[in-house]
Structure 1
């Protein structure tokens, strides 16, 4: 009788798919699997069906799982690239060193994850310098990150210097950060050269890297005057992490100066929430009336959070803040409802790196209709991909190109059953019912997004183009295909 509950538990676990097991643990806030669940995942990882195998190894990769280390060691050589990817990722969380062959894997995301896993295991001497010349920017950027963690400037300094001066944005930007970490003040000339570069992403990373240098306050203050608000806001964020006496005045100006761009105001509010500095309460209160227009929803949320974080509960100041926020609703509008499309069309995106096609879903009719409206209005033409995360997503569609912008309206979430697989198109959001005109595309399966974000389309052609996108690359044109 004492064995019966365990037997039943194992039977239940085995009857569920690997992602069912994962989602139940994720929703319950657990970071481990029961013995029965671990046994079920182990069995699925050895199944002949590659769909079950990648799902099982993905579930294992979400949390360090030493009980299944032997499964991961075998899975890293699987014929399916998804299995290899998540096996290598899971090994990295266990500080295990993958097979050297994974550094030259035919799949670029497996290579990038392998570089990160070698770095996590501190096996820096086993990383070949040829990684800095890999065809993929994702792998080159991962190599720069690994070099930054190595502490070995003599070996990695020369390839990093060459990478910092190369084309693109991802890898040069990460190289600048690595040089600053490895060389300190000696990296300043490289950063100053990058600050004159026309690529906004590179200038932003240079200011981020400047935070690693001694006595970089004046350099960062000069960054507040960069004509691109995406760069200036990064300089502000980096300056705010320093001990400079210029921090509070800079935040005050960003919040209260007339004409201060949304990126500066939003960054200042986010920094204020982290600092919890009562000296910024007046500036935050003064900013409330101007938190209107496109992008206001996320900014209003940041201001609210910052104000409440900057006062002690139960004080007179806290009462004043709550009184001010009483007439400061999180949104000034209601979510839009559009007429459903008779038959959702496909959308053709032309980018600087090539074209791809998105087939819209019937499961999210309101999102599909809003997306079509944005395409036909030309909203996406000329916008940039402002966020690219290796083995995760690319994100764009923001008229401001920073992640802070929107089209002046929002959408209510739509529950969809579609899983987030490679090529799934989803709606970014800053909270419930805050979708808009932006979009993201999963580069690999991302089941932890299932049910949490609205999936409203799928890339049906040109997936390889997504792998070449870097921050700052443009959407040249988006058109409908009936």
Structure 2
């Protein structure tokens, strides 16, 4: 009887099981369905070196690779011995990840081991990563090694070129480095090597490239890649030649790519206006707004000899507010004393009639071309309802104070404006004024008998939202009190990765960014920057970005958005961690804006062209896959109508 009961029970149990709903296996949309990978990235997010280190010795190569890449973001020198040991790993991806992480940590104690390991590394991709990493931490020994290295394949050659570029940024280079870069500009060299060499020559400080005039000119006018031409054209600014104005003017008016044209304008620094006048006037009316803006900025930076009558005649033809602002600034700056007041009153009246806050802000900045407008600008700044007007007003005040002929009789007045700004409670005015107060060129220390106003302003901040302002205040307090600069305050860890959301985002997820100028399509890199992507998607779901503006556009650099204030000083009540993967800023890559490592929240930018100096310093979390022609036409004040997942 008992046996029958057991059998009957088993039958009933089987029947019950057959009636249970069948579970559908979870579909993996990206690699983070793997709980071990989640764990590694969580430890990276927490900056937990102690628990990350064992993963560098995991029996699975994939986990060793990911753990090594994690230290590219954590950047703890305690990991260096383990990472150096991983350069002998049997798995190529592990060695490559270790090399990248060593470069990101950037400590010179890894230099000797990398150099000694190079002859034993046979994989081109790893060779390239090691050479670039060496440039990020090179002493003169490493710089010499990079200049003399004999690359045997194209990948290693590109890595060598990026290595000398990275070393050059740190002012570690030799005459052979320059000679190598010039050779790498040859059209027979691979694109990556040419691009790196061009950026080395353009961005390395204090190079005299006069002996290399002809190869530079050849590359600037004939290279097939505009990204190479624009960097080489920038490098031409370091050439001393009697025909410099002529060849730069030709490039500025003839190259089909606006980024090359504006690079030629910027390279004209130091030349007399009369020599480059036709090119300047032409590019002030360039069909691409970024070229015109860059030219207006150029004449502001280099106003000597710029003819007022010529600009007054040109001004009616210039419709863009930002370009007009630059031209008006130079008109006021260079006008005769008797004309300055008359013209200022005309432009003040225009200012009062303008309704667009961005146009209004630019006109206020233009008025800083005449020093006696400082009280008017300060009044508008402190009374502004829109943050962009207040912030631009402070920028205008600082610009006036920076002029070499600033009248010392106004020292006390400007010091009082800065003090009032610090006490205003507006995070932008506080941060900008604090930075101005400690500018050694201004010599304002004697103007402040006590510093309580800085301490009081600091106590009113809300962290981590106001971290950028907090850093500025602390540095200024240290400066005024004569202390060595204290350790930069760190943001608290308050916003861990939302793994539930991350796992719901498909690899290659696309985003539609609708703007007044057209639609831009971006592809998210959830597997490289899960925390940043999850944060971005959370903000999209909240409609956070809708109806905001591109508040910052730097010609041939970035278009930046995502700020509720609209002036670049708006943050959220939290911050996320920086995530650095072996990706590189090229045209159309999307990065998180920050005030330093681990301070990102809601602002982001799109690059106009390669920006290798941002690599490994700003999180890359997406790229533009359609609509770059829209990106290249964006202006400050262009509205972001809607951001949505595709």
Q: Do Structure 1 and Structure 2 share a fold, with TM-score over 0.5?
A: yes
> Are residues 1:254 and 2:416 paired?
no
CA deviations over 1:430-463 (Å, ceiling 9, x no partner): 1111111110111010111111111111100000
> Are residues 1:360 and 2:524 paired?
yes
How far apart, in 1, do the equivalents of 2:450 and 2:150 lie? 52
TM-score (norm 1): 0.86
Aligned equivalent of 1:36:
176
1:72-471 → structure 2 map (5 Å cutoff)? 72-77=216-221, 78-94=223-239, 96-97=244-245, 98=247, 100-122=250-272, 123-127=275-279, 129-148=281-300, 149-154=303-308, 156-162=310-316, 166=319, 168-183=320-335, 185=340, 187-196=343-352, 197-223=354-380, 224-239=382-397, 241=401, 243=410, 245-257=412-424, 260-274=425-439, 275-276=444-445, 277-279=447-449, 281-292=451-462, 295-313=465-483, 330-331=490-491, 334-339=494-499, 340-341=502-503, 342-344=505-507, 345-361=509-525, 362-471=527-636
How far apart, in 2, do the equivalents of 1:8 and 1:252 lie? 51
CA deviations over 1:354-395 (Å, ceiling 9, x no partner): 110110112111111111111111111111111111111111
1:92/1:19 CA distance change after superposition, 3 Å: farther
CA deviations over 1:19-67 (Å, ceiling 9, x no partner): 6444455357543632333333223211433343233222221133414
The alpha-carbon deviation at position 169 of structure 1 amounts to 3.5
1:101/1:40 CA distance change after superposition, 3 Å: closer
1:477/1:289 CA distance change after superposition, 3 Å: same
How far apart, in 1, do the equivalents of 2:395 and 2:596 lie? 22
1:30/1:301 CA distance change after superposition, 3 Å: closer
TM-score (norm 2): 0.66
The alpha-carbon deviation at position 475 of structure 1 amounts to 0.6
CA RMSD of aligned residues (A): 3.0
Determine which structure has the larger helix proportion and give its number: 2
CA deviations over 1:391-440 (Å, ceiling 9, x no partner): 11111111111111112211111111110000011111111111111101
Unaligned stretches of 5+ residues in structure 2: 1-140
1:24/1:8 CA distance change after superposition, 3 Å: closer
Aligned equivalent of 1:55:
196
| Secondary structure, aligned partner of 2:433 | helix
CA deviations over 1:72-94 (Å, ceiling 9, x no partner): 11011222212221121111233
| Secondary structure, aligned partner of 1:478 | strand
Whichever of the two has the greater Rg, that structure is 2
Contact map agreement 1:381 1:477 (CA 8 A) in 2 = yes
CA deviations over 1:210-248 (Å, ceiling 9, x no partner): 333142232123222122222223323443526264434
| Secondary structure, aligned partner of 1:76 | helix
1:313/1:273 CA distance change after superposition, 3 Å: same
| Secondary structure, aligned partner of 2:372 | coil
The alpha-carbon deviation at position 267 of structure 1 amounts to 2.4
Paired residues, what number? 463
